[in-house]
Each structure stands twice: as structure tokens, then as C-alpha cells.
């Protein structure tokens, strides 16, 4: 059984691990393996919002440029409704380095399109949320090794089954930087200027989690159990974070339905949440009734099926310094994303 932290990122640990003594995970999990040359990656969330339904096709001015030189190595689309009832569609794109992202913005014409005054007109709002963590600042975990998601599409391979999963605090134990850094939160660095284009400030060690579910392979009893017992409790927890999460350190949460390239829904979803502190994410996961219900429902589900499940789960967690964040909202309502947070 491997450590989730690759050998080239291991250091003499200064911060304690949460792994129990003589721990054996109750089920296997895997993590993505990246080249030792991997530096600063780009996770870019391009969004459109409106009071009326919006579609992935509304993001064609963005996604239509992805195929140009220096475009993302992977992207996928998803939709949700936010806490103000606005329909939102997002294209999530991943680059292996920040220079490629900068080159793409300039040479594809995206930068000029984004800055055009037309973005500030009409019924649609637009936003761009970009974080650029280094390899020591993000981690992944998958319940299956053969179907990558998110940043996993940029990996060079997959680990053997890992030790650090299935217990409270395991996400921190998988983060390479957490070996020597407590990843304490920082205050927002600045303020948001008024206007139709708003850029909320970054904050040190902002914690971003994308946590997904794929039930497309489930059948018969398992599908019934997932749709009847697990999915509603999961949706309730995401709704709590979306509507009331600010009080516990969740700055933004979207529970998203994944779309195929034509804009049709797939049997996949994910929660996309920003916390002001990794510790607040950990605290919600371990102690809050909404996540206790999610975890309890999932454990009942897997035990009923004797741990023989076709449901696929994954997540990626990043802890990002303020200077590696960029958020801009154009013609958006005041509560969008990280605005007014």
C-alpha cells in the first residue's frame, strides 16, 4: 500500500498526521500521480448566469476557443441553480502551466472578448474563477483507478491503493505541503470595487474542493439505493452549504449537474465549494449534521451492498495562496460566487 504523497514531494514531517496507528482502509482508493516536473497548474471556471435558463451553448465564445493553440488539456461542463434562483452554467478547464493559460487568453482572442464592453450589457452575467496551485498544494482521491476526473486528466498515471483515506483528516494527510505547513487561513487581501466588473480579493490558503459522484454504472438495487437514500441527503447537505454555509466558513457552494459536450445531462454530479480554511472544511465533514447524514447514508449504502458497488466517487482539494487566485464577475448579481463574501 502506497502513501498518497509521491516520493519526490515527501519531506521530514513537522505537522502530525491523523492516520490511526496500524490503520487499514476499509476499502481501496487511488490518487493521481503527476510528473515530478509538474509545477503550477491552472483550474479555471468560466461561467454564465441568467434569471432564465442558460445552456452550455451560451459558453461557446469560451469553449469554442479551447481547441486553439495552448488551450486546456481537459475541460467539462456543468450546470446548477444558485441561492438567488439564477441559472448557472460553467465550463471547467485545466492547464498544466500558467504560461500556456496566459498564451491561450492572448492568442485565442478570449482576452479581447472577455474585456469587451458587450460583456457588461444584456441579461447574462459572466464570471471567471481561476486558481493556480502548485503540485504540493492539491491532492486527489478516486474510488476507482480507471476513470479520471478533473485535474486527474492531466496526471501521468495512477497510484497503487493508498493508505491515507477513509478517516477524518485524511485529505490533509494527502496534501504534500501539509507535511510542513499548518495551512492557516489569511484575511482577504483588499476589497471589491463597485461596478459592473468586480474582482473580489484573494485570501491565503483558500480551500477549494470538487467532490463528485458518477452513478452511470449502477444497476437494479444499487441504483435504487443511491437515488432513493444517498442522493437526496447529499443534495440537502450541498443546499445547506450554498444557503447557510457562510456561518461555518463556506464562502461559496454549487451542487452541479455534469453535462456532455452537447449540453445534455449525464448521470454525474459534483459539489464545488470554497472554504476560507481547510480546517473549516474538515470540521464540517466530521461534525456537522448535514455531512454526518451524508457519511452515514453512504456507509449504510456500501454495507447493504457488502462494499461491492459500481458507484464511482472522487474529489480534488486545493489550498491556494492569495497571489495564485483570480476572480472576476461581470454583470453578475451581487451574491454570485465569491462576491460579498
The string of DSSP codes covering 181-243 is -------BSS-PPPSSEE-PPPBTTEEEEEEEEE-TT--HHHHHHIIIIIHHHHHHHHHHHHH
Half-sphere exposure of 169 (CA within 13 A, CB side): 9
Give whole-number Cα distances, 165 to 31, 95, 281, 299, 316, in Å.
Answer: 10, 27, 16, 14, 13
Average pLDDT of the residues in 253-269: 97
How far is residue 319's CA from residue 330's CA, in Å, rounded to a whole number?
25
Average pLDDT of the residues in 271-297: 95
User: Residue 287 pLDDT more than 90?
Assistant: yes
**Position 169 confidence tier, pLDDT thresholds 50, 70, 90:** very high
Please tell me the predicted confidence (pLDDT) of residue 272: 97
Report the catalytic residues.
315
User: Residue 234 pLDDT more than 70?
Assistant: yes
**Position 189 confidence tier, pLDDT thresholds 50, 70, 90:** confident
Closest CA to 293 of 282, 281, 285, 302: 285
Query: Domains in the chain, please, with CATH?
Result: 137-186+198-323 (3.30.70.100)
Average pLDDT of the residues in 258-263: 96
String of b and e for 19-41 (b: at least 16 CB within 10 Å)?
beeebebeebbbbbbbeeebebb
Q: Which residues share a beta bridge with 162?
A: 2
Encode pLDDT of 56-89 as tens digits: 999 999 999 999 999 999 999 999 999 999 999 9
Percentage of the chain modeled with pLDDT above 90:
91
**Position 341 confidence tier, pLDDT thresholds 50, 70, 90:** low
Q: Cell 437515488 appears where?
A: 227
Q: Cell 493553440 appears where?
A: 69
**Position 305 confidence tier, pLDDT thresholds 50, 70, 90:** very high
Encode pLDDT of 120-168 as tens digits: 999 999 999 999 999 999 999 999 999 999 999 999 999 999 999 999 9
Average pLDDT of the residues in 90-101: 97
Percentage of the chain modeled with pLDDT above 70:
98
Closest CA to 237 of 294, 301, 167, 322: 294
User: CA dihedral in degrees (307, 260, 272, 85; nearest 10)?
Assistant: -120
In three-state secondary structure terms, 120 is helix
pLDDT greater at residue 302 or residue 173:
173
How far is residue 275's CA from residue 281's CA, in Å, rounded to a whole number?
6
Mean predicted lDDT score pLDDT of the chain: 95
Assessment of whether the complete model's pTM goes beyond 0.75: yes
Amino acid at each position: 500500500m502506497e502513501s498518497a504523497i509521491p516520493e519526490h514531494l515527501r519531506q521530514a514531517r513537522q505537522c502530525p498526521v491523523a492516520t490511526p496507528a496500524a490503520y487499514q482502509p476499509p476499502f481501496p482508493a487511488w490518487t493521481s500521480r503527476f510528473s515530478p516536473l509538474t509545477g503550477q497548474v491552472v483550474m479555471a471556471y468560466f461561467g454564465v448566469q441568467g434569471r432564465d435558463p442558460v445552456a452550455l451553448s451560451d459558453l461557446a465564445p469560451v469553449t469554442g476557443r479551447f481547441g486553439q493553440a495552448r488551450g486546456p488539456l481537459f475541460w467539462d461542463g456543468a450546470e446548477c441553480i444558485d441561492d438567488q434562483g439564477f441559472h448557472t452554467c460553467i465550463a471547467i478547464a485545466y492547464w498544466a502551466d500558467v504560461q500556456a493559460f496566459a498564451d491561450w487568453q492572448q492568442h485565442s482572442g478570449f482576452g479581447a472578448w472577455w474585456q469587451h464592453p458587450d460583456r457588461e450589457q444584456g441579461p447574462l452575467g459572466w464570471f471567471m474563477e481561476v486558481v493556480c496551485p502548485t503540485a504540493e498544494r492539491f491532492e486527489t482521491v478516486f474510488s476507482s483507478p480507471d476513470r479520471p476526473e478533473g485535474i486527474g486528466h492531466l496526471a501521468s498515471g495512477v497510484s497503487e491503493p493508498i493508505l491515507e483515506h477513509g478517516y477524518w483528516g485524511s485529505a490533509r494527510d494527502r496534501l504534500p505541503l501539509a507535511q510542513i505547513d499548518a495551512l492557516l487561513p489569511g484575511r482577504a487581501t483588499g476589497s471589491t470595487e463597485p461596478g459592473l466588473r468586480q474582482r473580489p480579493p484573494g485570501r491565503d490558503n483558500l480551500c477549494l474542493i470538487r467532490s463528485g459522484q458518477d452513478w452511470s454504472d449502477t444497476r437494479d438495487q444499487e441504483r435504487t439505493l443511491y437515488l432513493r437514500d444517498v442522493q437526496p441527503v447529499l443534495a440537502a447537505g450541498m443546499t445547506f452549504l450554498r444557503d447557510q454555509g457562510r456561518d461555518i466558513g463556506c464562502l461559496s457552494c454549487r451542487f452541479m449537474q455534469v453535462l456532455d459536450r452537447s449540453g445534455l445531462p449525464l448521470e454525474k454530479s459534483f459539489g464545488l465549494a470554497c472554504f476560507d480554511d481547510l480546517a473549516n472544511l474538515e470540521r464540517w465533514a466530521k461534525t456537522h449534521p448535514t455531512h454526518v447524514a451524508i457519511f452515514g447514508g453512504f456507509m449504510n449504502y456500501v454495507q447493504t451492498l457488502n462494499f461491492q458497488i459500481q458507484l464511482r466517487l472522487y474529489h480534488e482539494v486545493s489550498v491556494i495562496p492569495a497571489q495564485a487566485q483570480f476572480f472576476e464577475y461581470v454583470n453578475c448579481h451581487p451574491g454570485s460566487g465569491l462576491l460579498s463574501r
